[in-house]
Chains A and B, each alone.
Chain A
């Protein structure tokens, strides 16, 4: 249990960092592209700031990722011993993608004022691609744990290993798309919430700061575009789970007994037959409940259900915000069409309640990410590899592991506090603070 908590904690930390690490370069490139198109220095400044922040988060993410690869062995020796070779290739590929991301991030950060603008923009692309690829490779391992493929068990021994079949298991496409969209949403809404805070302050001070407005608009738009897509992918994901891990689905939806015409239950609401209808397009379809499976294969159903509800609620909240933003944008376009020009974000919804909601959306998106990940991980219990290996067979039996957990908790809490405080300092003093990997004079040398 201590091992699971430690893994959950360190991974939960890493997943947010990694999400922002994937999303921020994308935001940077969006801003950079706008600056190339419009020549507006505000966009250039945003791009510069975002990539610097990405650099800091990237370093913290790299070390927290190193810790995870340690924990694979120190916490789960049984798992690594038996199946390490089956999914190892995915991590080798992940390492390469990560390395590409790191190198080009260095080139991009260093390229400001040193490379020709177009080339500089292009060097940002491998950063984004590398981030997305490396996340996808890691996800293949998790989807493999849900849908183990690419090996055979003969008398308990792993044979006929096919690493590619393991990597491209049936759960990979849906999980990868779901996670990448989720991380773009986390990044978009989190970054936007920082600027929502600044905009609220501007309002109180009676100022209008274009830098803050654009800093809000770009990431929020990214999040808003992903939100409706994520609803569709989420639907795909739950259908996939219902077909392939029915017990996880039963736990998610809180189906106790196998029955026909299952109602859709959500918190206190209940719509008769709706779940059967949603899933099978037949109001009287029979769905398997938890009681269809042996007791010793049940996941902690309440946790899974709660996580699922949290994720769905937040998803709907984000979708509503996205719809509001989209409508406002459409109205603005129509108005601008009449006036013959586009105002500089003047007619977008800068209502304080919208900004407050956007402020909450940043935290909410992170919570939804953690909740969704809880659903897939806890929902797979008691298995570490679904249907093949139980978690207790994988864990390091050493009782001292609990102390390791405490130390990790303390260190990571300190790390999180320090990261936030350093990022705040960077925000406060944009001119004086140099990039972390770059303490040289910003004189261009040609």
Chain B
């Protein structure tokens, strides 16, 4: 394995983490927009509270890795797709700030509205660009781009619904928990119906798509049977395999544009050293949060 391969693996890892954690945040924003009831919104806000925009760290990680390890690729993607990517960036700004504002000043309804809309816009733009890159489509507003954007947004919504099931049961009453179950089942079915024909049409032959389909079906069964924590795993698997399938289809060969080994070496050492500090402190933070949430709930 060359340094470039390791860099690709790290970028893919970062993308997966961003999809699974950041994507769920976007999806939660979508449900926040759709849900009319205060109880539903409370569950969503509560679940997002602790993590709150920290997940963009994954995105920054992916970007920094890409421009350090594969500078021409980064420059090419960013300059070609600057419109949707700028929109996504603005969406992130609007989302992050309105979420805080809506909490600090709860009587201003439009902060919450902007939060919801930008939570839909951002994953749409990312998904559109990713799909165009993977399929070699023309533009983010072409057929492939639109399909990818809608699919990504739906995936995020599905992920969020699946993750929120547990929070809803923990934090809210029975009716609310039932509604979230409905959200999860509906969005799960919708994503499946959207993803499989798309994969067939675009000619994605990867076995990963089969894995995704199986994981999706298992998830539906698990939701129906109230295995609310296990479904987080299968739901996440169903979503992340779509990303991996897309990457496999794109079959990018990045070796030609890779940076010098000296650069990658420094970056890997830095990341390793950083992880030594970061992982224990993250665990501590998580333990603090959990200890707070556990009793009396």
Contact = CB atoms under 8 A, between A and B. Distances in A.
Interface string A201-214: 00000000000000
A77 B97 contact: no
Contact of A411 (B52, B93, B103): B93
A163 B101 contact: no
A69 B63 contact: yes
B200 interface: no
Given A74-B82, A84-B75, 7 more contacts: A56-B104, A60-B97, A73-B67, A102-B57, A111-B288, A114-B292, A421-B105
Interface of B: 45-46, 49-50, 52-54, 56-57, 59-61, 63-65, 67-69, 71-72, 74-79, 82-83, 85-86, 88-90, 92-98, 100-101, 103-105, 111, 259-260, 262-263, 266-267, 270-271, 273-274, 277-278, 281-282, 284-285, 288-289, 291-293, 295
Interface in A53-110: 56, 59-60, 62-67, 69-75, 77-78, 80-86, 88-89, 91-93, 95-96, 98-100, 102-104, 106-107, 110
A425 B105 contact: yes
Contacts of B77: 73
A59 B53 contact: yes
Contacts of A229: none
Nearest to A94: B64
A415 interface: yes
Contacts of A169: none
B90 A59 contact: no
Interface in A246-261: none
Contacts of A244: none
Interface residues of A, number: 73
A245 interface: no
Output the residue of B86, B277, B284 with the most chain A CB within 10 A.
B86
Given A66-B92, A88-B68, A440-B292, A77 B103 contact: no
Interface string A137-181: 000000000000000000000011111100000000000000000
Given A77-B75, A110-B288, A88 B267 contact: yes
Contacts of B273: 96
A88 B92 CA distance: 23
Nearest to A395: B79
A92 B105 contact: no
Contacts of A70: 63, 78, 85-86, 88-89
Nearest to B104: A422
Given A92-B65, A111-B288, A63 B85 contact: no
A168 to B, nearest CB: 12
A80 B67 contact: yes
Interface stretch (A275-283, A381-389, A430-438): A430-438
A398 B259 CA distance: 26
A85 B83 contact: no
Output the residue of B69, B83, B97, B288 with the most chain A CB within 10 A.
B97
A35 interface: no
Nearest to B103: A436
A85 to B, nearest CB: 4
Interface of A: 56, 59-60, 62-67, 69-75, 77-78, 80-86, 88-89, 91-93, 95-96, 98-100, 102-104, 106-107, 110-111, 114, 126, 159-164, 396, 398, 400-401, 404, 407-408, 411, 415, 418-419, 421-422, 425-426, 433-434, 436-440, 445
Contacts of B277: 96, 100
Contacts of B59: 66
Contacts of A93: 270, 274
Contacts of A75: 82
Contact of B260 (A83, A85, A164): A85
B74 A73 contact: yes
A73 B259 contact: no
A102 B61 CA distance: 15
Given A60-B96, A88-B259, A396 B90 contact: no
A182 B78 CA distance: 32
Contact of A96 (B67, B274, B293): B274
Given A62-B96, A80-B67, A439-B103, A161 B53 contact: no
A68 to B, nearest CB: 9
30 contacts: A56-B104, A59-B53, A59-B96, A60-B100, A63-B56, A65-B60, A66-B93, A70-B89, A77-B75, A77-B78, A78-B75, A82-B71, A88-B64, A91-B68, A92-B64, A99-B57, A103-B285, A104-B281, A106-B50, A107-B281, A110-B292, A396-B79, A401-B82, A408-B90, A418-B98, A421-B105, A422-B105, A436-B103, A438-B49, A439-B45
Nearest to B111: A418
